Amino acid sequence: MKKTEDIKMYYFFDEAGDPQILGRKGVNLLQEGKASKVFIVGYLQVKEPKEFRKNLIKLQQEIVNDEYLQDIPSIKNSTCTQLHACMDCPEVREKVYKFLKKQDFKFQCIVARKKLDLFRKKFDLKESKIYKYLVSKLLENSLHLYSEIDCVFSSMGNVVRQDNMQEAINDAIASLKEKWHKDNTNTIRVIIQKNSEEPMLWAVDYVLWTIQRAYEKSDFRYYNYLKDKISLVFDIFDNDNYPNIYYSNKNPLEAKKIDPQKG
């Protein structure tokens, strides 16, 4: 167990994909191709977000005011409000990814392969339970690392709430205590923010999109570009590859390992 560093750290959380499996009248959205194959929750860890945030806002304003880009519909409809990987045009993505490549941060995420029987049995198909569980499992081994941590979550309707995320934190702390028989005495704050109000969440969205593309489309172009920043991809429900479900530099994420139709 690593010792606690006496510094403040910031964890910024967002999700990719969706936790839904069933739609109206019990229609299986996965079988209909109307839902994501996986649901991902991840966080960007940074010690000094102030300068990061300032420069990201500056980049967004440069993009919005770029004469060459101004007539692109997504610039007017989306990018002018916030950076969003799936909405932004390729020219914008290039600028954002090159910016992120130069920043000092680490990224970790947990990937949930969506299986109807498992989600019904384990979560009763309740999205808030799914999200809370993934957050707690993702944080089990990282909440004790710093004396003070701000956990900033992207708001998500009734799924990401102050009480729900605090319960996820408490569950993670309890798991750590059960494993190491040690109390967590650091200070942890839970903060809920809208993406449009916290630019750091734009960066989280962009990194998550690289991992979602890898799982959903077998497109590793963006992931490979940022992989040095991504310290962990935890593929929690991949039964076929267990226990080799923790992807990092030592166990690289590759297409042959993560077919979401398996496991």
Q: Are 12 and 115 in contact (CB under 8 A)?
A: no
CA dihedral 226, 45, 231, 15 (to 10 degrees): -70
Query: Cα–Cα distance between 67 and 73 in angstroms, integer?
Result: 13
Question: pLDDT at position 157, please?
Answer: 87
- Indicate the pLDDT class of residue 153, thresholds 50, 70 and 90: very high
- Indicate the pLDDT class of residue 262, thresholds 50, 70 and 90: very low
pLDDT at 51 over 60: yes
- Indicate the pLDDT class of residue 250, thresholds 50, 70 and 90: confident
Share of the chain above pLDDT 90, in %: 85
Question: pLDDT at position 263, please?
Answer: 42
Question: pLDDT at position 181, please?
Answer: 83
Question: pLDDT at position 256, please?
Answer: 87
Q: Among 21-35, 61-75, 130-144, where is mean pLDDT lowest?
A: 21-35
Q: What are the pLDDT digits (tens) for 79-120? A: 999 999 999 999 999 999 999 999 999 999 999 999 999 999
Please state the domain extents for the chain.
5-257
Query: Cα–Cα distance between 134 and 139 in angstroms, integer?
Result: 9
Q: What are the pLDDT digits (tens) for 205-219? A: 999 999 999 999 999
CA dihedral 80, 82, 87, 92 (to 10 degrees): 70
Tell me phi and psi for residue 138, to 5 degrees.
-65, -35
Class of domain 5-257: alpha beta
> What does the mean pLDDT of the chain come to?
94
Question: pLDDT at position 150, please?
Answer: 98
Q: What are the pLDDT digits (tens) for 13-37? A: 999 999 999 988 889 998 888 999 9
What is residue 195's DSSP assignment? Answer: G
Query: Cα–Cα distance between 104 and 226 in angstroms, integer?
Result: 12
Question: pLDDT at position 259, please?
Answer: 72
Question: pLDDT at position 257, please?
Answer: 86
- Residue 43: name the closest of 123, 122, 131 by CA: 131
- Residue 166, amino acid: Q
